[in-house]
Amino acid sequence: MGTTARPVASLLAALLLLGVGSAGAQAPEAGGRERHWYLVRASKEFEAGRFEQALVSFEAAARLAEEPLPDEALRRWGISASEAGWPLAAYVRLRQYLIAVPDAAGRDVLQARIDKARRTLLEIAPRQSRIIVLAETQPTAEAPGERQVLRLVARQGRATVEALSGTRIAVPAWQRAGDIDEAAYVTLVGKVLDSPALLQDWSAQALDPTEPGPHRSIMLRLVLGEEERVRQAQRGEPYGSLQALAQMILDFPRTEQVRP
C-alpha cells in the first residue's frame, strides 16, 4: 500500500471527527458514506479556491477508500496540492491522473505543473530529504531470515549513506556510513520519482501465514522536505515492481563512490 503524507494531522483529525458526526455516525457502511462526504466537501473547497482545505479533504477520502479515487478527484487533488505548495503530492496525483486519462483535456497545462513540481523536488533533495529501503525475508525452519536496510540522507547539501544487513537485526546499528556525491544522489532521487512503482497505489497486503514461505516484504520511504511517500508490498506484481526499485537503491552505494 502507498501513502503520501504532509504535516496536517491535526486538521485532518478534526475533519475526520466532523465527518463521522455529520455523515457516518448513523450509517453501518460509514466508510463509504464518509468517503463520499469528503469527496463532496473537497470538490466544493476546490471550486471555491480553498486549495489547502480541499487537499486535506481529498487525503481524508483516500484514507477511507478501498479502491482508487475517481480520475477527476485525482486531477483536482493534484491541482490543489500544486496551488497549496505541496510539490510531492502534486507530482504523484497529477501523474496518476495523466496515466489514467492519457488524452485528458488541458494535458499540457497539467504536464507543466508536473514538471514544475519535479524541479522543485530535485531542488529540495540535497537540502532536506531521505530515502529508506527495508528488504526483509522472514525466518523459516530452514533459514534464520535476513534484513537489509539502506538509509540515504541529505541535509544542507551533504548526502550520506548508512546501511546494515544480517539475520534478524533487532536494534539497528548503522554501518558503512560515508558521504556520497550530491549530484549522484539527486540523480537517484530523480530516478525514484520517475519510477512507476512510486506512483502505483494498491490495496494493503497483510502477511498470509498459509502461503508457502519464505515470506518477503519490501518497504520504501521517500521524504522530500515536509512530505513523504511510503510504499510497501509482500507479494505478486506490487512486490515485483517495488523490489526492482528497491534493488536499484540498494545497489546505489556499490555503484557510486562512498567517501568515509
User: Residue 29: which pLDDT band, with cuts at 50, 70 and 90?
Assistant: low
* CATH class of domain segment(s) 128-255: alpha beta
The answer to whether residue 196 scores a pLDDT higher than 50 is yes
Question: Which segment, 67-81, 199-213, 225-239, is predicted with the most confidence on average?
Answer: 67-81
Report how far residue 114's alpha carbon sits from residue 141's, in angstroms, rounded to the nearest whole number: 48
User: What integer pLDDT is reported at residue 139 of this predicted model?
Assistant: 65
Q: What is the mean pLDDT of the chain?
A: 83
Instruction: Provide CATH 3.30.1560.10 ranges for the chain.
Output: 128-255
The domain 2-124 is classified under which CATH number: 3.40.1350, 3.30.70, 1.25.40, 2.40.30? 1.25.40
Question: Tell me, what's the pLDDT at 12?
Answer: 46
Within a 13 Å sphere around the CA of 168, how many CA atoms are in the beta-carbon half?
Answer: 6
pLDDT band at 31 (very low <50, low <70, confident <90, very high): low
Sequence-ordered list of residues with C-beta below 8 angstroms from that of 142, at least 6 positions apart, any chain: none
| pLDDT for 238 | 84
What are 166-185's pLDDT values in tens digits?
545 454 444 556 788 999 99
pLDDT recorded at residue 221: 97
Which neighbouring-strand residues pair with 228? Answer: 5, 223
Separation CA 104–CA 148 (nearest Å): 41
Residue 209 clears pLDDT 60, i.e. is over it: yes
64: left (phi over 0), alpha (psi -120 to 50) or beta: alpha
- Amino acid at residue number 58: F
The pLDDT, as a whole number, for residue 169 is 47
Q: What is the pLDDT of residue 188?
A: 97
**pTM greater than the 0.85 cutoff:** no
Band of residue 22 on the pLDDT scale cut at 50, 70, 90: very low
Which range, 15-24, 56-65, 130-139, 190-199, is most confident? 190-199
Which range has highest mean pLDDT (9-23, 140-154, 242-256)? 242-256
Please report which confidence band the pLDDT of residue 65 belongs to, taking 50, 70 and 90 as the band edges: confident
User: pLDDT, tens digit, for every residue of 119-133?
Assistant: 999 999 999 999 999
Provide the sign of the torsion angle of the four alpha carbons 122, 123, 124, 127, taken in this order.
positive
Query: Residue 153's pLDDT is what?
Result: 93
Residues of the chain with CATH 1.25.40: 2-124
